[in-house]
Amino acid sequence: MEKNVIYGINGPVITVKGPTEFKMMEMVHVGKENLVGEIIGINDEYTTVQVYEETTGLKPGDPITGTGNPMNVLLGPGIIDNIFDGIERPLKAIEEESGAFISRGSQVNSLDDQKIWNVTMKVKVGDKLKGGEIYATLPETAIIEHRLMVPPAISGEITEVKPDGGYKLFDTVAKIKDELGVEHDLTLCQKWPIRYSRPIEERLPTTVPLITGQRVMDTMFPIAKGGAAAIPGGFGTGKTMNQHQLAKWCDADIIVYVGCGERGNEMSQVLDEFSELIDPKSNRPMTDRTVLIANTSNMPVAAREASIYTGITLAEYYRDMGYDVAIMADSTSRWAEALREISGRLEEMPAEEGFPAYLPSRLAEFYERAGRVKTLSHDNGSVTIIGAVSPQGSDFSEPVTQNTKRFTRVFWALDKALAYARHYPAINWMDSYSEYFNDLDPWFNEHLGPKFVEYRNRISALLQEESSLMEIVKLIGSDVLPDDQKLVIETAKAIRVGFLQQNAFHAEDTYVPLEKQMKMMGVILHLYDRAREVIAKEIPISTILKLGLFDKLGKMKYDIPNNKLEMFDDYDKEIDKKIDEIL
């Protein structure tokens, strides 16, 4: 084969002159330092390579060698509790190799190939296995059992099985002979190209909610396991904070957190916090179920583009084992900007605001990889995608937000005005929506009774009414409103302060179980109903306000511990007693 050499260099984009044998999307090594790159364009004159590392110092004439494979990741034990860059290079190992600053051309293995895993075989010689079926398991962390699956493309008969015991990553533990009689080694790992979704048996309806413990999300705008949500918001509105809260508290088995073009200090915060934080369900550090992918904003832009795909591929791999996986992508706008930057270097014709015309299709491809599925190993698993969007100038009409809206079914719109007033989570209840109500309401009815959905509908009706009343109040003040409308405003205030607002730094309030959420709604509505009786008797609203009941409800989130829900009955009794006294 003729040797391929660099011809032109423009930022992270490199051209090779003349016809080459490279395949589209093939992974290549560039230059003497073996920088990682990918083929992104081929014609009879030039082949175009996108390089995932800084190109300073590269020279025309430096070699480019192909690997023959598309950009892929190594899948196997050791992924959990690890932190990778955008192309699955472990940052801890890079630190050991090159110190605090990331040098180029690091040749470290994605996963630790020296660690010994305690493997239990699940098959015997003569078993017939299809692609995706499980042949062995091993404990990856204290709570996650790693299930080794036959690569999806292979199926056949097991011809050799090693005994249970300790093995390293690349050790062969079994052999399988396919229909053509070719024998394949089964090790503890496999490879998968990041831009292709992993095959499944079938898609299942999304009928189970992802419970986050965040009241405004669970109650007002719920997301299903296997669903896709967008969190758009300008800077300072709390996108990252919300993503962190979800990563900490949502009831997925495994969290993949992709820091895509975001702050380095934020990633070190995640690292610190998650290793100290104990998961209440398993009593283990959060890191035991978390994978981090950190491609901070100053790391090479092309790897930022890849980081989203790397993240979703890891998520799919664990989904295939039968786990519920949630992936947080913070932020997809940075990924879209990486697309724009590379598109610009390729001199492609830009569409809206300089973004390439294929932006919507790339976003669709990504969000479509969410879903609740029956896996090839005949188990149920799901991938839930929660993507933060950072709209330019906080303007939701910009292309990334608009296109994301088309492919996600939950929209948690963050609002600057709420954030300024330090109302967190700053999810605007008028602009946000969830399209999963119909899918999820049967689940809520079954697990919490029909009251839950009823309460939610009444709460959102009250908020809706308040919002139109506020239009009037803004013009003429609240004094002129009749008492029944004043009551709506007072109740809505209790809902906003007591229910929608949630304190992520308060030990009790940071996570609230669904039962408590329901009871909180119940007690607010109870007070509202009783107060209406008072107003109907033409007793002025000031008499009710003097009772201090609304203020008390505003603080119940702190006053009632999550494990003392019977206290709500006392609240109901107190309301009844005080209101009865007036009547």
Site for other proteins in 433-492 (CB under 8 A): 473-479
- Closest distance to other proteins from the beta carbon of 152 (Å): 32
- Closest distance to other proteins from the beta carbon of 157 (Å): 44
Please, which contacts does 526-533 make with residues 24 or more away whose CB atoms are closer than 8 Å?
526/572, 526/575, 527/491, 527/494, 527/553, 527/575, 528/462, 528/487, 528/491, 530/575, 530/576, 530/579, 531/487, 531/491, 531/579, 532/484, 532/487, 533/579, 533/583
In the range 209-238, which residues lie near other proteins by CB under 8 A? 234-236
Note whether 35 and 53 are within 8 A (CB): yes
* CA–CA distances in Å: residue 572 to residues 182, 496, 530, 557, 567: 72, 20, 10, 15, 9
Q: Which is nearer to other proteins, 99 or 163 (CB)?
A: 99
CB-based contacts of 449, cutoff 8 Å, min separation 6: none
Note whether 107 and 34 are within 8 A (CB): yes
Taking CB under 8 A as the rule, does residue 137 contact other proteins?
no
Taking CB under 8 A as the rule, does residue 8 contact other proteins?
yes
Q: Which is nearer to other proteins, 345 or 519 (CB)?
A: 345
Taking CB under 8 A as the rule, does residue 341 contact other proteins?
yes
Q: Which is nearer to other proteins, 58 or 521 (CB)?
A: 58
Among 30, 39, 58, 385, binds other proteins (CB under 8 A): 58
My answer on whether omega of the bond before 331 falls inside 30° of 0, hence cis, is yes
Residue 16: its H or E element: strand 13-17
| Count of positions on this chain that bind other proteins (CB under 8 A) | 78
Place of tokens 């080459």: 20
- Closest distance to other proteins from the beta carbon of 191 (Å): 24
In the range 97-126, which residues lie near other proteins by CB under 8 A? 99-103
In the range 496-555, which residues lie near other proteins by CB under 8 A? 497, 505, 548, 551, 554-555
Among 1-9, 186-194, 311-319, 515-523, which window interacts with other proteins (CB under 8 A)?
1-9
Cα–Cα dist 112/119, whole Å: 16
- Closest distance to other proteins from the beta carbon of 541 (Å): 13
Dihedral of alpha carbons 451, 324, 296, 51, sign: negative
Taking CB under 8 A as the rule, does residue 91 contact other proteins?
yes
HEC string of 284-329? EEHHHHEEEEEECCCCCHHHHHHHHHHHHHHHHHHHHCCCEEEEEE
Among 72-80, 168-176, 183-191, 291-299, which window interacts with other proteins (CB under 8 A)?
291-299
In the range 64-83, which residues lie near other proteins by CB under 8 A? 83
What are the φ and ψ backbone dihedral angles of 410, each rounded to 5 degrees? -120, 135
Cα–Cα dist 387/223, whole Å: 13
- Closest distance to other proteins from the beta carbon of 264 (Å): 5
Among 168, 357, 420, 450, binds other proteins (CB under 8 A): 420
Three-state secondary-structure class, residue 280: coil
CB-based contacts of 111, cutoff 8 Å, min separation 6: 74, 76, 77, 78, 79, 82, 90, 169, 189
- Closest distance to other proteins from the beta carbon of 31 (Å): 10
Q: Which is nearer to other proteins, 396 or 443 (CB)?
A: 396
Among 207, 297, 510, 562, binds other proteins (CB under 8 A): 297
Among 298-306, 405-413, 454-462, 507-515, which window interacts with other proteins (CB under 8 A)?
298-306
Note whether 64 and 108 are within 8 A (CB): no
Q: Which is nearer to other proteins, 461 or 470 (CB)?
A: 470
Cα–Cα dist 358/340, whole Å: 10
- Closest distance to other proteins from the beta carbon of 469 (Å): 14
- The CA R_g of the chain, rounded to the nearest whole Å, is 27
Taking CB under 8 A as the rule, does residue 423 contact other proteins?
yes
Among 146, 147, 225, 334, binds other proteins (CB under 8 A): 334
Identify residue 423 by its one-letter amino acid code.
Answer: H
Q: Which is nearer to other proteins, 295 or 408 (CB)?
A: 295
In the range 254-273, which residues lie near other proteins by CB under 8 A? 259, 261, 263-265, 267-269, 271-272
- Closest distance to other proteins from the beta carbon of 57 (Å): 5
- Closest distance to other proteins from the beta carbon of 204 (Å): 36
Among 75, 149, 186, 301, binds other proteins (CB under 8 A): 301
- Closest distance to other proteins from the beta carbon of 228 (Å): 22
Taking CB under 8 A as the rule, does residue 57 contact other proteins?
yes
Beta-sheet pairing, 254-260 with 324-330: parallel
- Closest distance to other proteins from the beta carbon of 301 (Å): 5
Taking CB under 8 A as the rule, does residue 569 contact other proteins?
no
- Closest distance to other proteins from the beta carbon of 270 (Å): 9
Q: Which is nearer to other proteins, 318 or 424 (CB)?
A: 424
Taking CB under 8 A as the rule, does residue 166 contact other proteins?
no
Burial of 351 (0-12, 13-18, 19+ CB in 10 A): middle
In the range 356-415, which residues lie near other proteins by CB under 8 A? 390, 392-395
What are the φ and ψ backbone dihedral angles of 517, each rounded to 5 degrees? -55, -45
Read off the tokens for 281: 């369900």
Q: Which is nearer to other proteins, 121 or 497 (CB)?
A: 497
Q: Which is nearer to other proteins, 192 or 257 (CB)?
A: 257
- Closest distance to other proteins from the beta carbon of 431 (Å): 18
Residue 513: its H or E element: none
With vertex at residue 167, the alpha carbon angle to CA 166 and CA 169, rounded to the nearest 5 degrees, is 145
Dihedral of alpha carbons 223, 214, 460, 390, sign: negative
How many other CB atoms are found less than 10 A from the CB of residue 514?
A: 19
Note whether 327 and 383 are within 8 A (CB): yes
Taking CB under 8 A as the rule, does residue 29 contact other proteins?
no
In the chain the first and final C-alpha atoms are separated, in Å, by 95
